[in-house]
Structure 1
Amino acid sequence: MRELDVAKLPEYVEEDVRVSEWSTVRVKHCAYSVPSRLKGKWVRVRIFEDKIEVRFADVIELACERLIGRNLCRIDYRHVIWSLIRKPGGFARYVYREEMFPSLVFREAYDGIQVLQAGTKGDLEYLRILHLAASTMEADVAVALSLLQMAGKAITSDAVKEMIASSSTSIDVPQLVSPAVRLSEYDALLTEVAA
């Protein structure tokens, strides 16, 4: 008997993919969003068994878990909000619209906004809130939305901004005082070790 020829399996497969006008790339029949500044550019995608890496100019722009299946999507609202805010009329028909709700609080806020301002005006108001979440802290925006909903107040981007600004100024950072360093204590330790 002779030894089997065992070739090492490749760790990943690379594909060159063009970023679409919607700031997405299609990899193995699934859509992934990338930063909007890459629209129209060619990126190199490394497809591992359990993850993908999207690289542009040898810099990793996206690293995420690989979707297994067909016609699935992984859209990060932070990647596409910058272009959606400029064209709010397209939000109602946006292909990945359901991905623009990071949590249930955001979905409930959108529904509440649509009750008061239906159509494009309501979409624009929600997109402003989502833009605020992308440019600040999503968790702070979610808390502000929850508080506005519990208080029964109208949800607007200005009200959310105001709540975030007031909560960030109320945090008092304690002043730390550095203790005085007495080097004689260290000298005493050194003399004990030397003895």
Structure 2
Amino acid sequence: MSKRKEHSQEIAAAKAGISVRSARRIECDARLPSQKPRRYWRSRPDPFTDVWDTEVVPMLKSEPRLQAITILRKLQDDHPGQYPDSVRRTLERRISQWRAVSGPAKEIFFPQEHAPGIRALSDFTDMRALDVTIAGLRFDHRLYHFVFAFSRWEYAQVVEGGESFEALSSGLQNALWQAGGCAREHRTDSLSAAFKNLREREDFTTRYEALLEHYGMNGTRNNRGKGHENGSVESSHRYLKEAVDQALMLRGHRDFEDRAAYEEFLRDVVMRRNRRNAAAFRIEREQLMDLPPRRTTDFAEEEARVTRCSTFTVRGILYSAPSRLIGHRLKVRVYGYRLDCYLSGAMVFSTPRGSHAANSTRRSIDYRHFIDGLKRKPQAFKGLAFRNELFPREAYRRTWEQLDVRVSQRDACKTMVGLLELAAMDGIEAVLATRLEAMLSDGALPNLEALREEFAPRQADCPVIHVQMPPASCYDALLGQGAAA
């Protein structure tokens, strides 16, 4: 009506976003829309009168989760040409009203009040959507996420493997010791690391029960498929990932020099979030139980023999080992993200833990363990069973593909082994990969001798120092001066 003062009815209706007919009706009626009585009668006949009680209601009673569009498609098939798509909204309103009056009861969500120091929650969350890379390589990982229900204080830890007990134990203990106390109850979802889910009676695993007993906590879990019962940590997943994503955007890129740099970045994000909850955490900290005198184990022990191929198998994953350990039986401590290998009580080497992911080769091979052997037998590289796992970066794999096609097998294997030997030098792997990428882009093959000349460490020329020894008689003069003094 305000626009009608200056414009015609057609222009005022267009500016108000209504039809000319509606504008004419409003202008002719002196009452405001809020002053008119609400209409409770139908303005047109109900198109579902004939089939509502005989067809629609029986379908809803037999399966209340049926959607209106599904029922409409069924009616269109049974009564061709009688129910156009334009009546869909009418059917949706009728079904909604039927469910409110005669439908099944719905699940009730009970809001909870959390007391300080009572409940802590643990869960894992997938971080692949953030596209984090380590030294240019995609870093597919999860986070172990710990939250206190009252104060919302949280802790996060990078997990490369699956949701194992080792990852749960390590993350939980790190969180408790960083917080400085234990909650009375620890809650998770249906983690196989904590619960025997295949049994009729879903009780704790032996190791998880021992972990809870060590810290004096009671273990609980949410009902299967009811993630909202762990809402304190489930909702925090989204907010934490959003905070990490925003920090990555602010950073300008998503690549990190190594895993330690990414963990430091993640720790800063979590600490900033915890500072907002500092007042509530001070209240909760006073109610937490004391920590035990020491941590408990966060690893499992396995035994494995190193084969003559310089490999060993732990939990279905093939790992490489230094060739000097061939024939020895190792004690392997399996942590959440690494394996520590011991021989006669001394740790001989450590390696990242492999993954059981569906797209994983279930091999964790370090090419450095095979360099010396391949230098003596370079032709073995061509048909090596785990050859593809030896390439530390994509550039090396693409280089091998070009060498295999364009030069003889002897020269291709010799050149590739030489490139891997160069890559094994400290700090050379990434630089050499960049150089190989540039060569491949230009259509050239690497010149091994030139690359060795460029990257191999040069022997420094030590200066020749001539030392003139004084005669022994000159020391007599010193003795004489001492006597005179």
TM-score (norm 2): 0.31
The structure that has the greater radius of gyration is 2
The answer to whether 1:56 aligns with 2:332 is: no
Mapped contact 1:30–1:69 kept (Cα < 8 A)? no
For the structure 1 residues 66 and 108, does the alpha-carbon distance in structure 2 shift closer, same or farther, using more than 3 Å as the test?
A: closer
What amino acid is the match of 1:73? R
* 1:34 aligned to which of 316, 321, 326: 321
* 2:430 aligned to which of 130, 136, 139: 139
- How many percent identity over aligned positions? 28
Deviation at 1:7, TM superposition (A): 5.2
Q: Hey, what's the Cα distance between the residues in 2 that align with 1:7 and 1:32? A: 30
Q: Hey, what's the Cα distance between the residues in 2 that align with 1:43 and 1:61? A: 10
Deviations for 1:16-48, whole angstroms, at most 9, x for unmatched residues? 221111211100111111222212222110123
What amino acid is the match of 1:65? R
* 1:68 aligned to which of 356, 359, 376: 356
Mapped contact 1:145–1:160 kept (Cα < 8 A)? no
Mapping for residues 175-190 of structure 1, pairs under 5 Å: none
Q: Hey, what's the Cα distance between the residues in 1 that align with 2:303 and 2:353? A: 19
The answer to whether 1:79 aligns with 2:363 is: no
The answer to whether 1:43 aligns with 2:334 is: no
Mapping for residues 124-135 of structure 1, pairs under 5 Å: 124-135=414-425
Deviation at 1:120, TM superposition (A): 2.8
For the structure 1 residues 17 and 35, does the alpha-carbon distance in structure 2 shift closer, same or farther, using more than 3 Å as the test?
A: same
TM-score (norm 1): 0.71
The answer to whether 1:160 aligns with 2:436 is: no
- Which runs of 5 or more structure 2 residues have no equivalent in the other structure? 1-207, 212-296, 459-485
Deviation at 1:140, TM superposition (A): 2.3
Deviations for 1:134-163, whole angstroms, at most 9, x for unmatched residues? 134211221222233344433131132234
Counterpart position of 2:22: none
What amino acid is the match of 2:319? Y
Deviations for 1:67-86, whole angstroms, at most 9, x for unmatched residues? 33697110011112221221
Mapped contact 1:23–1:39 kept (Cα < 8 A)? yes
Deviations for 1:34-67, whole angstroms, at most 9, x for unmatched residues? 2222122221101235542222341250142343
Number of residues paired by the alignment?
A: 162
Q: Hey, what's the Cα distance between the residues in 1 that align with 2:377 and 2:431? A: 25
Mapped contact 2:354–2:363 kept (Cα < 8 A)? no
* 1:93 aligned to which of 379, 383, 389: 383
| Other structure's SS at 2:376 match | coil
Deviations for 1:99-130, whole angstroms, at most 9, x for unmatched residues? 12111211121122223323132111111111
| Other structure's SS at 2:341 match | strand
Give the superposed CA RMSD: 2.6
For the structure 1 residues 49 and 151, does the alpha-carbon distance in structure 2 shift closer, same or farther, using more than 3 Å as the test?
A: closer
